[in-house]
């Protein structure tokens, strides 16, 4: 980088020197004013024009063009490296995705088996407690207890069933 910047600075210095000489001889204030009309004056001879053209050609041929070519080659190399790095990144991302998918499948399978086991154990507990609670002996005992107490202070309403007077419930 420093070498390139040094080359660029040198080219700029030589260019500025040549442009300043042209501006001074032609009586111009800035480089934008340089044109065939402003250089076609009595003070600017053919010999001076040839000398300036020679300097500008030398600046281009010896400095600017080789520097640009070197930088173009380096830029191309950097682009190739970048492309290779991007390919590597894409490959690694693909491998990472596959690995994460495998991990997700393993977690999913583990969760399935855990949930199945938990449901089975819960199901067996519920089945056992329901079987015990709904045993015919227990239901009969509960009904007997309720009917033995003729407590008419608590009324039960069953909708949709006709009430029959003096019915023994």
66-95 per-position pLDDT tens digit: 778 888 888 899 999 999 999 999 999 999
Band of pLDDT at residue 100, cut at 50, 70 and 90: very high
Would you list the DSSP string of 63-117? Answer: IIHHHHHHHHHHHHHHHHHHHHHHHHHHHHHHHHHHHHHHHHHHHHHHHHHHHHH
State the Cα–Cα distance between residues 41 and 25, nearest whole angstrom: 10
pLDDT at 51: 84
Question: Which pLDDT belongs to residue 12?
Answer: 81
With a CB cutoff of 8 Å and minimum separation 6, the contacts of 63 are 7, 10, 11, 14
pLDDT > 70 fraction of the chain, expressed in percent and rounded: 73
Residue 132 confidence (pLDDT) = 63
Query: Chain-wide mean pLDDT for the chain?
Result: 79
Among 3-7, 32-36, 157-161, 162-166, the range with the most confident prediction by mean pLDDT is 32-36
Please say if the pLDDT value at position 113 is more than 90: no
pLDDT at position 16 is 84
pLDDT at 99: 95
Which is nearest to 25 in space by CA: 11, 38, 9, 6?
Answer: 38
The better pLDDT of the pair 140, 52 is held by 52
Cα-atom radius of gyration of the chain, to the nearest Å? 50
What pLDDT score does 147 carry? 63
């Amino acid at each position: 980088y420093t070498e390139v910047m040094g080359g660029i600075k040198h080219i700029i210095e030589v260019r500025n020197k040549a442009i300043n000489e042209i501006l001074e001889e032609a009586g111009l204030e800035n480089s934008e004013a340089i044109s065939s009309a402003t250089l076609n004056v009595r003070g600017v001879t053919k010999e001076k024009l040839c000398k300036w053209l020679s300097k500008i050609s030398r600046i281009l041929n010896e400095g600017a063009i080789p520097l640009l070519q070197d930088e173009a080659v380096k830029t191309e190399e950097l682009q190739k490296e970048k492309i290779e790095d991007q390919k590597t990144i894409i490959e690694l991302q693909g491998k990472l995705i596959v690995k994460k998918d495998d991990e997700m499948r393993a977690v999913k399978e583990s969760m399935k088996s855990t949930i199945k086991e938990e449901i089975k154990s819960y199901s067996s507990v519920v089945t056992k407690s329901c079987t015990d609670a709904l045993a015919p002996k227990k239901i009969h005992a509960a009904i007997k207890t309720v009917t033995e107490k003729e407590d008419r202070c608590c009324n039960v309403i069953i909708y949709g069933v006709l009430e029959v007077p003096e019915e023994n419930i």
